[in-house]
Structure 1
Amino acid sequence: MTPPPARKKRATILDVATVAGISRGTVSRVLNGEPYVSETAREAVTKAIQAVGYVPNSAARNLVRQRSQAVGLLIHEPHSLFLEDPNIGSIMLGANTVLSRAGYQMVCLIIDSERDLHRVGGYLNGGAIDGAIVISARENDPISEIIEQLAMASAFVGHPPNRRRLPFVSIHNKKAAAEITARLKDSGRTRIGMIASALDRAAGSDRLAGFKEAMGADYLPELVTEVASFSFDAGIAGMRQLLEKCPGIEAVFAASDAVAAGAMTVLQQAGRRVPEDIALVGFDDSVWAQRTNPPLSTVHQPASELGAEAAELVLAQLRGEKINRDGVYLETEIVWRSSV
């Protein structure tokens, strides 16, 4: 039997130093980007690296620094919603762009069960990542408690659970929900309901609070139905409940575009025309808003920018910088289409 070919020997810093004709310490300083190294030495090291085919051993360097050069993106959502919700994808891409530019790897961790909670909790305690970006954290979420106990560099997209003073980036969900509800009222509709979603997290509860505020004395509790998530299927269930409770309902604020798309499917199956018979608005300005017929009036939130800002917050902490713990808020705007 022919023996397998011998594995090519990996070039070392010593090989680079020998070819460059300078000390190993100087090569190390160049590789680590340290100051007080002459341009002549930097050029010599660069040429020597190309000549010997040297590849830095990132794992060994990170071990010395006690850094993994990885940041976790923790998503506390069911697998189905992770694939369905375009906002999550936009947040991921925004965060990854910033982290990649800074030389960090993003590690995606999905929490869909109690088993996942224990697994991810152990992963955080094991020091496998330097920081964490958390999406859709819930009230009394043990992951948030672990991050706080570890004093880990972190950033939440949305308010941290139980209003902890942990770094976060968000939008003004209550204000935006109140604004689109007020505009819905201005259309002349009176019996206005809401499909309230995900009330176990700040975004969902704040949107319901904004709806109540804008409705004022016209708010009717029986015209609000609660569903578990910001999903298409939740919108179907919520709209069916609203029609059963109030067949004469004239307008609906759905807590997300996906929820609104599910609601519109039910309305059209029931022979209710949008917007002639019933007006419908969503929240997010995701691709769902343009997939429906008619397109949804909605609130635009900058999902990609939320991810990017969250990544910047984590990197600032890793650099030892002081950050604002009162939150970073991004602006939203109402996008008015033909569903009203």
Structure 2
Amino acid sequence: MQPQKRATVHDVAAAAGVSRGTVSRVLNGGYVSAQSRAAIEAAIADVGYVPNTAARNLVRRRTQAVGFLTLEPHSLLLEDPNIGAIMLGANEELSIADHQMVSLVVDSARDTERVARYLSGGFVDGAIVVSARTHDPITRVIAALGLPATFVGHPPDLARDTPWVGIDNAGSAREVVTRLAAGGRRRIGMIAAALDRDSGADRLAGFRAALSDRFDPALVAEVPLYDYASGVKGMRELLTREPAIDGVFAASDAIAAGALEALRDAGRAVPGEVGLVGFDDSSWALRAQPSLSTVHQPAREVGAVAADLVLRQIRGEHPQPVVLPSPVVWRDSA
């Protein structure tokens, strides 16, 4: 049995009684009269025409794909609910615009080289970048290619005209720590993570600003990642340095959950003896017992806005950075 012949633009034009150019204008979003448009749409349905998207994109030099680059270890990608929420928000926005999201994870120098080659090959029209560090090689690749891109967060070495979406990490951290101090906590420490990224550095800056002359660098435990194991390690370190610690700001909810385990193991009651606050308002905050006071990070909205900003760049626009609200949510842990 011979396969059915695919309908073409010529077939649509013949059925509608118009020129091939008129059909092309309709398919590409151009202007035609209402009467011609109605005839063409009816003809498309009658002949069963399906646009050859690949061929059209080749002519337009478009792939209708956007890369979603996560610059984190594989383990954190699976553990951190924020990354998943950002990804879902971005995918929803791209889907509405009929674009495909391509997920790319960068966990090593080899990954960096592979993803750089992929981006240079023209396989995506733009990129959303999550967790870029200062002087990140992927940032340099994107800048050299002139690839439309939106960053989640704002590494300080980003070009001024590079769009980004984020929250006020420093301001939210300052509000949390100020409230802990106002509640009578006298020895407040921080488990600070990801200090090579703007999010981690800004949260530490907010912590320091809130304490002002009461800031004690010995009460800052630095850990590499926003993960549970880092919270356990960092809290044990703080307890060793200052057994009388009575307040802790953790740089993420996952870290706070790990800190909670270490405090429980040490026989320290939360919030009775130690007030504990996280950051993100993720599923970690609600799973913990007691539930975590935290900063709400609108991760899904961050992803949607990031996708919108990159789509606008692809269309030739020059959008401005967007800062979303990040209110503090007070629960049982402080």
Structure-2-length-normalised TM-score: 0.96
Q: Find the residue that maps to 2:276 and give its secondary structure.
A: strand
Q: Find the residue that maps to 2:6 and give its secondary structure.
A: coil
Instruction: Report the alpha carbon displacement of residue 222 of structure 1 after superposing the two structures with TM.
Output: 1.0
2:75 to 63, 71, 80: 80
2:174 to 178, 184, 206: 178
Partner of 2:333: 339
Instruction: Report the alpha carbon displacement of residue 304 of structure 1 after superposing the two structures with TM.
Output: 1.5
Partner of 1:148: 143
Partner of 1:93: 88
Deviates more, 1:249-258 or 1:88-97: 88-97
Residues 195-245 of structure 1: per-residue CA shift (max 9 Å, x gap): 000001000011001101111111111111111111111111111211222
CA distance in 2, matches of 1:153, 1:201: 21
1:207 to 195, 203, 212: 203
Determine if the alignment matches structure 1 residue 124 to structure 2 residue 130. no
Instruction: Report the alpha carbon displacement of residue 323 of structure 1 after superposing the two structures with TM.
Output: 2.5
1:252 to 237, 248, 272: 248
Partner of 2:49: 54
CA distance in 2, matches of 1:258, 1:116: 26
CA distance in 2, matches of 1:323, 1:20: 40
Q: CA distance change for structure 1 residues 163 and 212 in 2, over 3 Å: closer, same or farther?
A: farther
Letter in 2 for 1:119: R
CA distance in 1, matches of 2:316, 2:27: 22
Instruction: Report the alpha carbon displacement of residue 163 of structure 1 after superposing the two structures with TM.
Output: 4.4
Contact kept, 8 Å, 1:137 with 1:161, in 2: the verdict is no
Q: Structure 1 vs Structure 2: percent identity of aligned residues? A: 59
CA distance in 1, matches of 2:2, 2:137: 49
Instruction: Report the alpha carbon displacement of residue 6 of structure 1 after superposing the two structures with TM.
Output: 4.0
Contact kept, 8 Å, 1:236 with 1:262, in 2: the verdict is yes
Residues 87-131 of structure 1: per-residue CA shift (max 9 Å, x gap): 112211222222222221111111111111011101111111111
Contact kept, 8 Å, 1:160 with 1:168, in 2: the verdict is no
Q: Find the residue that maps to 1:162 and give its secondary structure.
A: coil
Partner of 1:282: 278
CA distance in 1, matches of 2:295, 2:184: 20
Taking the TM superposition and a 5 Å limit, the aligned residue runs for 1:32-51 are: 32-35=28-31, 37-51=32-46
Letter in 1 for 2:172: A
Partner of 2:185: 189
Determine if the alignment matches structure 1 residue 225 to structure 2 residue 215. no
Structure 2 unaligned residues grouped into runs of 5+: none
Partner of 2:62: 67
CA distance in 1, matches of 2:54, 2:158: 37
Q: Find the residue that maps to 2:185 and give its secondary structure.
A: coil
CA RMSD, Structure 1 to Structure 2 (Å): 1.4
Partner of 2:134: 139
Letter in 1 for 2:329: V
Q: Find the residue that maps to 2:195 and give its secondary structure.
A: coil
CA distance in 1, matches of 2:2, 2:223: 61
1:102 to 97, 102, 113: 97
CA distance in 1, matches of 2:94, 2:245: 47
CA distance in 1, matches of 2:42, 2:121: 39
CA distance in 2, matches of 1:7, 1:270: 73
Structure 1 unaligned residues grouped into runs of 5+: none
Runs of 4+ in 1 over 4 A off after TM superposition: none
CA distance in 2, matches of 1:7, 1:266: 67
Deviates more, 1:330-339 or 1:87-96: 87-96
1:28 to 8, 15, 24: 24
Partner of 1:330: 324
CA distance in 1, matches of 2:266, 2:46: 72
Letter in 2 for 1:59: A
Partner of 2:5: 9
Deviates more, 1:303-312 or 1:257-266: 303-312
Instruction: Report the alpha carbon displacement of residue 69 of structure 1 after superposing the two structures with TM.
Output: 0.9
